[in-house]
Amino acid sequence: MQVFDQVRDMQLQSLSWRAAGWRIALVPTMGNLHEGHLDLVREAARRADRVVVSVFVNPLQFDDAADFQRYPRTLNDDLAQLSKLNVAAVFAPGEQAMYPEGRETVTRVEVPQLTGELEGARRPGHFTGVATVVTKLFQVVLPEVALFGEKDYQQLLVVRKLVADLNLPLEIVGWPTRREADGLAMSSRNRLLGADERQRAPRLYAILQWVAEQVRSGQTHFTQLEAGAWEQLIAAGFEPEYITVRSAVDLRAAVVGEPLVVLGAARLGEVRLIDNLRI
């Protein structure tokens, strides 16, 4: 397993692989890897000849400087885990490598549709930061396929639209959320939960399941369902930010009979949790 921290070195390796006819898969991460990330890596190995995992805590997608500073950085542990899998290379650049002239003046990529509400409303500039870094990673690694977890469902749709709109020649694969035994979606932020918060955290997924069950049983008053779920989150000790039923295709207003997804975001103390469940 090779480790690159410079853009040109990674590009040259990818160009060499492509010249040899190898199919490249990219798994973009911000590190602090867990089994959800490793699931993506394993699936990438089934879909390509060479797997590249990127590890970069992208400052452009943080609207809170304190959140950026406390985001867990565990590169040595990440490399140890990846070395046991079928990973050809890890691209782990520093900020200087990714934004050599500074992040303030870097060219940005925007996806106007899909980014104005939910996560986009709560985290101004977040999706511009995501779209920008993902586009840069695609140009560095030159993959034919890239894999993203469905836990960040809105992000997955944004990346798919970015690729379609810019005619990028690669496939975007969404992979199901990996969960702890009690239902909590695996996340790098989970380690920041206190003991009491960790006990309560699975209630977010349980409440999403309740909404889904109501919809499947014929309840189509989505506003009432969302209000009921909001009250349950508060009763469980969360500070809810949103919980909503939307189109699973493009997050527009829910329509009975179409594929749906229920999405939620809430805080437990200093930790912000997001999750979703397709109906």
pLDDT, mean of each 10-residue run, the chain (279 residues): 98 98 98 96 98 97 88 94 98 97 95 94 95 98 98 98 98 97 94 95 98 96 97 98 97 94 96 96
What is the structure's pLDDT at 72?
86
DSSP 155-208: HHHHHHHHHHHTT-S-EEEEEPPPB-TTSPBP-GGGGGS-HHHHHHTTHHHHHH
Q: What is the pLDDT of residue 173?
A: 98
Please, what are the domains in the chain? 2-175 (3.40.50.620), 188-278 (3.30.1300.10)
- The confidence score (pLDDT) of residue 63 equals 86
Concerning whether 221 is annotated as a catalytic residue, the answer is no
Burial class (CB in 10 A: 0-12, 13-18, 19+), 214: buried
Among residues 34, 37, 126, 221, which one is catalytic? 37
pTM exceeds 0.75, yes or no: yes
